[in-house]
Amino acid sequence: MPAIVPPFLLARIAGTADPRLARAAAAAARTLSLPRPARGAARERLRLSIEESGTLVAETSPAPDRVVSDAQNREELPGVRVRGEEDPPSGDEAVDEAFDGLGATFDFLWDAFGRNGIDGAGGSLAATVHYGVEYDNAFWSGERMVFGDGDGEVFTGFTGSLSIIAHELTHGLIDAEGGLEYQGQSGAINESIADVFGVLAEQHAAGHSVQDASWLVGAGIFSDAVQGVALRSVKDPGTAYDDDVLGRDPQPGHLRDYVETDEDNGGVHINSGIPNRAFYLTAAALGGKAWERAGRIWYRTLTDGLSSTIDFAGFAAATLAAARAEYGEDSEEVAAARDGWVGVGVIEDGSPAV
């Protein structure tokens, strides 16, 4: 099941002998050992709810339906309901940050793509905070966002990062559109789309242009003891951290550096750097607000239908088809998307148009 912190990073922390990080090592080991809820049934319920509801036609802008619950440091979902749409701020920082992050993601999807929630049909946005004891992760359960509090030594918490909240909710959106197998290149595309929409939601909330944006996933979740700025960089894969305990960010930004591994479901959190970089190059070529054109191409690619086992080459071709359908055969959007994939080696420079 997708989670924002990859297992190889938690394993590095769990294996550290640094006495200053003893609590973090124990917390990472516990996080790795805890099973997360299975997603299959939840994905099927989400799919059926969309089919049964039909297409929602709204004459006014829709509003989110948010519910935040508190697991009270237990590993049980959903927990105790603590805030809904009609409730004032709770005073619990994690609760209120999660509530605001759900709303900001909803606003992004509606303003950028005209999508009413992650299911496209106005379904509730649910989250649970304070999951487990010093739980070092956040994940999409198939029905809700789930946040741990972090260990306080390496991770300071996850609810304060809008890019993380939108990333995990995007896994729900991907599920709603049929899903992408969480293995190998299709899994890396799954992670990449979540990263892309995560940073776009953050850019949308801040009003940042391509040039103003940080393009970082999870900025601010590390403590000051970590030599790093975020979990990943969409702009410059492989540069997010370089730390004695965490090691160096392993993401490649070009197909020639693709990592063959049996870990992390075939390197889904690692090789996602390649399509991430392709998106950034596309957005940078187009300029302006990245969600307006580059983001629309990627959104249309996902919602026009993808094979669940699609590879990088197939996804690149699908983005070009989406750009042509949206903007026209000879548009600068098609050229920018093609150049983005050329820039990461997925399409060969000089090869016929895909």
Active site residues per annotation: 168, 269
Could you give the C-alpha distances from 303 to 25, 118, 193, in angstroms and in order?
41, 12, 12
Residue 17 CA from chain centroid, whole number: 31
Could you report how far apart the first and last alpha carbons of the chain are, in Å? 32
Could you give the C-alpha distances from 31 to 10, 144, 161, in angstroms and in order?
8, 18, 19
Report the C-alpha dihedral over residues 128, 218, 306, 289, rounded to 10 degrees: 120
CA gap 239, 126 in Å, rounded:
33
Q: 237: exposed, middle or buried (C-beta count within 10 Å: 0-12, 13-18, 19+)?
A: buried
Q: Coil, strand, or helix at residue 322? A: helix
CA gap 75, 321 in Å, rounded:
44
- Do 159 and 82 touch, CB atoms closer than 8 A? no
Which of 30, 252, 251 has the alpha carbon at shortest distance from 151?
A: 30
Q: Which two tokens stand for residue 135?
A: 């739980």
Give me the numbers of helices (H) and strands (E) for the chain, helices first please: 11, 9
Angle formed by the axes of helices 273-286 and 264-271, nearest 10°: 20
3-state helix, strand, coil in the chain (%, to 5): 45, 10, 45
What residue type is assigned to position 122 of the chain?
G
> 70 forms bridges with which residues in the sheet?
80, 129
